[in-house]
């Protein structure tokens, strides 16, 4: 595993930002930390990058305890944050000249390709760049040395759709070559590049899973009955967001199997006219599972 986090806790005064958070990031994956603002995503990344110290628990990054990350590991990690500080008075080309000697693996061809792809003006001062161009600049500083791990903290916040698409194109080119850890609440934007996912809420991981497994097991089901639809009591535990209206029953099936679902519906509901099961978008997956988890905590 490129990253292993075990029971991380972080307290700021009386506020518990992380509450026993654990997850693993496989090598070569694009791993997304998903959650609402305040869920603990940025705090997690800062702990992993040794920017802040955990109150308890531990993490390893590139096989090294996060508290002992050295220049050797940092030379293999690219880091991009929405609020990243860069020397504003420096020109784009001058700053790249400054960074280059720190990374023995820096590839000038990759640098030139990224500058061209992102249309970064080499002679422009960094403080003259727009927010979107500054994020492109941060990515242009993080990719040319072929990082083993690329960490992106809310990279799409406040970007217009065109800039967002350009940044996503840059990430697609890194897929499989670099392990990417990305935190975001822009769920629809990262869905197509994500291979693994962890859902955070109030400083804990609700669950983590490969995207292929997650999307395979969840379906939005719409059942049309011969008579009036009624919600079975109790409803199967794998059914979430169950609603009945007229002769239609709808729910999210979290353990979808076409054969087993048909058998279950026949046993619970009797005469079924039609069953329609559709894949669930990542945003809907998150809201459904997060709502279910919160309801279980308060019940």
pLDDT tens per residue across span 262-277:
888 888 887 888 999 9
Neighbours of 164 (CB within 10 A): 19
| Alpha-carbon radius of gyration of the chain | 23
35-56 confidence digits (pLDDT tens): 877 788 889 999 999 989 999 9
183: β partners: 33, 153
101-113 confidence digits (pLDDT tens): 999 889 999 899 8
Between CA 117 and CA 293 the distance in angstroms is 42
Between CA 40 and CA 202 the distance in angstroms is 7
Q: Which ranges of the chain would DSSP assign to H, the alpha helix?
A: 41-48, 71-74, 92-99, 108-118, 131-142, 161-172, 187-190, 211-217, 258-269, 282-298
**pLDDT higher at 234 or 149:** 149
For 8, list phi and psi in degrees, rounded to 5.
-70, 135
Between CA 31 and CA 151 the distance in angstroms is 10
For the cut 70, the answer to whether the pLDDT of residue 283 exceeds it is yes
For the cut 90, the answer to whether the pLDDT of residue 59 exceeds it is yes
209 close to 26: Cβ distance less than 8 angstroms: no
The four Cα atoms 204, 206, 212, 213 give a dihedral, to 10 degrees, of 140
Between CA 102 and CA 145 the distance in angstroms is 9
Q: What is the largest CA-CA distance in the chain?
A: 73
**Parallel, antiparallel or unpaired: strands 248-253 and 239-245:** antiparallel
Unique residue bearing structure tokens 């859902």: 199
Instruction: Give the pLDDT of residue 296.
Output: 59
Unique residue bearing structure tokens 């500080």: 85
Joined tokens for residue 223: 């059942």
Q: Sign of torsion, CA 252 256 258 259?
A: negative
Joined tokens for residue 280: 């669930």
Q: 179-188, 199-208, 243-252: lowest mean pLDDT where?
A: 179-188
Q: Sign of torsion, CA 180 185 191 192?
A: negative
Over residues 189-202, mean pLDDT:
83
198 close to 33: Cβ distance less than 8 angstroms: yes
193 close to 30: Cβ distance less than 8 angstroms: yes
Between CA 284 and CA 233 the distance in angstroms is 24
Between CA 144 and CA 138 the distance in angstroms is 11
Query: What pTM, to 2 d.p., does this model score?
Result: 0.81
Secondary structure (3-state) at 297: helix
Joined tokens for residue 106: 């820096």
Q: Sign of torsion, CA 238 250 271 218?
A: negative
CATH class of the domain whose range is 3-209 = alpha beta
Domain ranges of the chain: 3-209, 219-279
Sheet architecture: strand order including 149-153: 77-81, 149-153, 179-184, 30-34, 196-201, 204-210
* 281: confidence class by pLDDT, cuts 50, 70, 90: confident
């Amino acid at each position: 595993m490129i990253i292993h986090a075990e029971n991380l806790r972080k307290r700021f005064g009386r506020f518990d930002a992380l509450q026993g958070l654990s997850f693993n990031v496989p090598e070569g994956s694009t791993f997304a930390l998903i959650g609402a603002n305040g869920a603990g995503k940025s705090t997690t990344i800062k702990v992993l990058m040794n920017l802040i110290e955990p109150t308890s628990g531990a993490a390893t990054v590139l096989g090294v305890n996060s508290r002992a990350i050295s220049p050797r590991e940092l030379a293999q990690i690219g880091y991009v944050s929405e609020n990243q500080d860069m020397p504003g008075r420096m020109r784009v080309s001058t700053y790249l000249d400054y960074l280059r000697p720190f990374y023995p693996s820096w590839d000038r061809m990759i640098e030139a390709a990224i500058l061209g792809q992102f249309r970064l003006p080499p002679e422009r001062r960094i403080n003259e760049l727009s927010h979107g161009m500054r994020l492109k600049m941060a990515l242009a500083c993080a990719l040319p040395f072929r990082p083993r791990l690329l960490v992106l903290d809310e990279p799409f916040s406040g970007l217009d759709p065109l800039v967002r698409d350009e940044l996503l194109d840059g990430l697609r080119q890194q897929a499989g070559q670099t392990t990417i850890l990305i935190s975001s609440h822009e769920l629809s934007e990262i869905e197509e590049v994500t291979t693994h996912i962890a859902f955070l809420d109030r400083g804990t991981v609700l669950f983590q899973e490969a995207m292929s497994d997650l999307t395979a097991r969840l379906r939005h089901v719409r059942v049309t009955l011969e008579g009036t639809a009624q919600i079975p009591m109790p409803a199967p535990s794998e059914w979430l967001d169950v609603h009945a209206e007229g002769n239609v029953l709808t729910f999210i099936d979290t353990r979808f199997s076409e054969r087993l679902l048909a058998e279950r519906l026949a046993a619970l509901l009797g005469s079924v006219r039609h069953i329609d099961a559709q894949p669930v978008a990542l945003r809907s997956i998150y809201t459904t599972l997060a709502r279910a988890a919160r309801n279980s905590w308060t019940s």
